[in-house]
Structure 1
Amino acid sequence: MSNEKTRFDVIGQLGSLRRYARSLARNEQDAEDLVHDALVRAYEKQASFRPNGNLRTWLFSVLHNTFIDGFRSRQADARRIAQTAETAETVQQPSQEHAVRLEQIRQMFETLPEEQRSALHLVAIEGLSYEEAAGILDIPIGTLMSRVSRARAFMRASEGEEPSSRAAQLRIVGGRDD
């Protein structure tokens, strides 16, 4: 039994497997997942390893096949999603007027630059104080206030209405509107 354990010892191969996985996956986290999945598969299939075979090449083969299987699976999933999107109704009429308005606001919000969107989200949606939000984003309060102000101004300008009527149309909660 101890002879079989030393024969199937993969610890010495981990460095090589990780390097190869990084070259395949092109992403550190995906490479680690790939190595993990390959080692699980190798352990499950260790009976298929030839007694006098080269452990290193066998593990590389298992790793490569695991990568190819995952790649093909992702491609098949993408094709299924694309086919579903083609057959599904692309536009669903909202059941209520406020749903349409909420979607318009969401789309405006999504067009904001990331730093303005995150600042506005923390203050307006999560209801955090400027101090709390600035602490989370690790920026000065003045910078946070500037980002929130610019985000609100952009959303108001996107409304394309006169200042007197836009307050009734779009009011961002949290902070002042002027």
Structure 2
Amino acid sequence: MEDKLIRLAQKGDKKAMEKLLQRNYPILKGYLLKITRNEALSDDLTQEVMVRAIMKIHKYKPRGKFSTWLITIGTNLFRDKIRKDKRLVFDDSITKDESTNSLEDQVMIKESIRDINSIIQKFPEEKRMVFILKHYYGYRYDEIAGIMDCPIGTVRSRLHYCIKEIKNHVKDVDDDG
């Protein structure tokens, strides 16, 4: 179904393009919110990615998911933004609400997410992006390498660093408690 929408969008079908963007908007927005930790910036970047996707749909080559292409564009825009503006402000309180769980479950989930978010927010951007792509969105190593424009070994190394840091943090908390 997505392949058909892509072909139609590449031929200039505006409805197909609109459907593609609507279907992939939550994935892109969620990713950008997690890596930027800034609601306004993630909104701006999401809109910019959407505009670029519309303008460059004819260049899209279906090697992976359409959302992967959008995330790649978003990652590059975020990197450019960081290089240009060192004064970016990040919000440490962003969490996802899971309304389908009981109140107790929601509290436990929010605490766990908050703990992990507080740890990964301290990671350098490149490591944080790899962690989010793998563990929040389930991308494979080769897909992440394509998005990040780096070798698979670098992806593995960055993930190893992240997991080690999280384990160290959990161990420190357990030792203190």
Q: Same fold per TM (> 0.5)?
A: no
Q: TM-score, structure 1 length as denominator?
A: 0.37
Higher-Rg member (1/2): 1
Q: TM-score, structure 2 length as denominator?
A: 0.38
Q: RCO higher in 1 or 2 (8 Å CA, sep ≥ 6)?
A: 2
